[in-house]
């Protein structure tokens, strides 16, 4: 990466994060896209949770309606042949059964719609999550190929080398009291060449 493209890239930099002494900086537009996609995924998750709740309620209502139908059919079966049948109670219960069956059909249709909505929301969330993952991976890959990343890695290794050298120097001075380590400098060049 040349000096002019490096400075243009640096001017579009948005945010940075530190990881083990290395500062990682990503372009502002990419950070904005990642943040926007993350918000979309959170919103879709909230909608999915609401649809799942509606689905549970619809299933419970359908179960209750089925139970009521079974109870009424049992009553009708018990009442057949008795004198109550002649009075029209069975007809009333049969009408009730018809009404409950209609309600059950409505609940089942609502349940099917909620299940379809939930499935479509799950597909949308999966699609958005995969986009977010791809964008993040691309941003990291692009940053790792940049000259700035390379210089940060070299700088980090130099710092670690310096700390390790100083620690080694302290140990040599501790174990070998007769050795003078004050003249040891890891950055001092031994030869005159560059």
Convert the pLDDT of each residue in 15-56 to its tens digit: 444 445 555 566 777 777 788 888 888 888 888 888 888 888
Which contiguous run of DSSP H or E holds residue 26? Answer: strand 22-27
Which pTM was predicted?
Answer: 0.37
Q: Give the angle subtended at the CA of 141 by the CAs of 136 and 146, to the nearest 5°.
A: 125
- Domain-by-domain residue ranges, the chain? 28-145, 147-187
Convert the pLDDT of each residue in 47-86 to its tens digit: 888 888 888 888 888 888 888 888 888 877 776 656 655 6
Handedness of CA 76, 77, 81, 82 (dihedral sign): negative
Residues 21, 159 contacting (CB under 8 angstroms): yes
Residues 80, 90 contacting (CB under 8 angstroms): yes
């Amino acid at each position: 990466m040349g000096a002019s493209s490096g400075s243009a890239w640096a001017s579009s930099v948005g945010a940075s994060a530190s990881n083990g002494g290395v500062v990682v900086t990503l372009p502002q537009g990419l950070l904005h896209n990642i943040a926007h996609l993350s918000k979309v995924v959170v919103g879709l998750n909230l909608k999915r949770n609401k649809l799942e709740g509606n689905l549970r309620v619809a299933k419970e209502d359908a179960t209750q309606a089925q139970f009521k139908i079974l109870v009424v059919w049992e009553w009708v079966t018990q009442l057949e042949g008795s004198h109550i049948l002649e009075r029209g109670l069975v007809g009333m219960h049969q009408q009730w059964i018809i009404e409950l069956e209609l309600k059950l059909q409505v609940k089942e249709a609502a349940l099917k719609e909620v299940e379809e909505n939930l499935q479509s929301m799950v597909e949308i969330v999966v699609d958005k999550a995969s986009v977010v993952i791809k964008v993040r991976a691309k941003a990291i890959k692009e940053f790792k190929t940049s000259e700035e990343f390379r210089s940060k890695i070299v700088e980090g290794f130099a710092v670690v080398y310096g700390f390790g050298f100083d620690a080694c120097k302290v140990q040599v001075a501790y174990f070998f009291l007769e050795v003078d380590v004050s003249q040891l400098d890891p950055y001092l060049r031994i030869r005159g060449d560059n």
